Structure 1
Amino acid sequence: MASVIPYTSVNYPETDGKPMGETDVHIKETMRLRQLLERHFAGQRVYVSGNLLVFYEQGNPRKFFVPDVFVVKGIEPGDRRFYKLWVERRPPSAILEVTSRKTKKQDTVVKPALYRELRVPEYFLFDPTQDYLDPPLQGYRLAGADYQPIVPASDGAMESEQLGLRLAPEGKHPELYRLDTGERLLTAEEALRVEAEARRAAEAELARLRELLGRGGAP
């Protein structure tokens, strides 16, 4: 009689037990970048996440990495407990890491080697305190079997082919600009502020025109 191999389910953890970021600056920047990308890709078949365990070897819950922010094109968005490469069948299209003192070696040595093996097309690093990376914004694009540095413009900005965005280091933030329109991506708070300012300007102009008409004058 043939022996029966019992099925053993694998428990994939939902956290690595490490803090989200080293400092408030790093945590806020990670959340900001994720929000910008979520708003930009809303309504598209693009998944945006961050600080989520990404498992890359089926059956081995120890084989994972945790990107600060990552984008996967061509799959449905939606909440996930973790990301399994063999289930989704797509590696991240682009990964953004917010580098700190504790993560510099991981971000500049360990992770690039793994991302290259997993065929992640683009990889960006940003140092919001400008203490650990020079220049503070760095990018790499997969070319053949290895990563090649993305040559920045004179202002330190660089283009992401995968995201369709221009990343520009401006102070403590990498601002994101659309390649097709040149528009800067806004957070929800910034968008509300811009809308409020536009509404006030429109109301002021309407009041001015009404006053002129009341006087019988021309605009």
Structure 2
Amino acid sequence: MYDLPSEEVGEPGLPDEYHPLQAQLLRLTFQPRTYPSEWVFSAMDMNIYYDENNTRRYKRPDWFGVVGVPRFYEGRELRKSYLIWQEGVSPFIVVELLSSSTRAEDLGQTEAEPDGNPTKWQVYEEVLQVPYYVIYDGEQDYFRVFHWEDGCYQELELDGDRLGLVELGLGLRLWRGTHEGLERLWLRFEDASGELIPTEAERERQEKEQAQTALQQLRDRLQAMGLDPDNLPNND
């Protein structure tokens, strides 16, 4: 893993501010309910090497999630790349964020290279056999889902712009809200009941708001009893 580059020198990475923020939100909310957290791994803009005999061949999804592998490599190391022949488990879900430069490739509309290097679509479908391949167009605000069935991808008809991942106890849907100070439509995970899975920052904000609400309720009760919350008698 440490002998192979995490990215190709001179090759562009995430192209703008939006791409890493959207990928980050997917990473933060990918919390499968059917696997312990220490057996869940996800990454954004990381090379997936799939051919042990040709390490020049890899794909780098905007975001991908894997279940059934340790959160840390061999239980103790941060990954620089994801090597299929070492990990033994393909991603369960891959999300590509459409841009003008990658649209044709992400949608499987490009041909394999003359040297035999397969396209992104071919790698996800034929080599890795990723169960769920998601394409999100953040400019047009829609996403499409392709499910691996009988050796190839079949596009799913979404139920109210929501993808149910029963195997993980999760859902994936569009949500209008604020992430990192930007209000817009985002793609993020929710639990099986439809409740959003909060990020750590959102959880802390919710706890703070709940504490403030509880404090205000206490003040209201004290005032209703004729007591001044800011000048309570000292029993000492």
Q: TM-score, normalised by structure 1?
A: 0.82
Deviations 1:24-49 (A, max 9, x none): 12222112212222698773411111
Q: When the two structures are aligned, how many residues end up with a matched partner?
A: 200
Letter in 2 for 1:36: T
Q: Which residue of 2 aligns with 1:115?
A: 124
Structure 1 residues 161-170 or 72-81, which shifts more? 161-170
1:198 to 2:210 alignment: yes
Deviations 1:164-185 (A, max 9, x none): 3222223531132111x32102
C-alpha separation in 2, matches of 1:194 and 1:177: 16
1:159 to 164, 167, 174: 164
Q: TM-score, normalised by structure 2?
A: 0.77
Q: CA RMSD, aligned part only?
A: 2.3
1:31 to 2:9 alignment: no
Deviating runs (4+, > 4 A) in structure 1? 38-42
Q: Which residue of 2 aligns with 1:4?
A: none
Letter in 1 for 2:102: T
1:174 to 2:187 alignment: yes
Do the aligned residues in 2 keep the contact of 1:46 with 1:72 (CA within 8 Å)? yes
In structure 2, the gaps of 5 or more residues are 73-77, 109-118, 176-183, 228-236
Q: Which residue of 1 aligns with 2:114?
A: none
1:61 to 2:55 alignment: yes
Q: Which residue of 1 aligns with 2:39?
A: 45
Deviations 1:186-219 (A, max 9, x none): 222222221111111011011112222346xxxx
C-alpha separation in 2, matches of 1:161 and 1:22: 32
Deviations 1:134-167 (A, max 9, x none): x7211111111111112112x3222234543222
3-state DSSP of counterpart to 1:72: strand
Query: Which protein has greater RCO, CA pairs closer than 8 Å, 6+ apart?
Result: 2
In structure 1, the gaps of 5 or more residues are 1-9
Do the aligned residues in 1 keep the contact of 2:65 with 2:94 (CA within 8 Å)? yes
Q: Which residue of 2 aligns with 1:5?
A: none
C-alpha separation in 2, matches of 1:36 and 1:73: 14
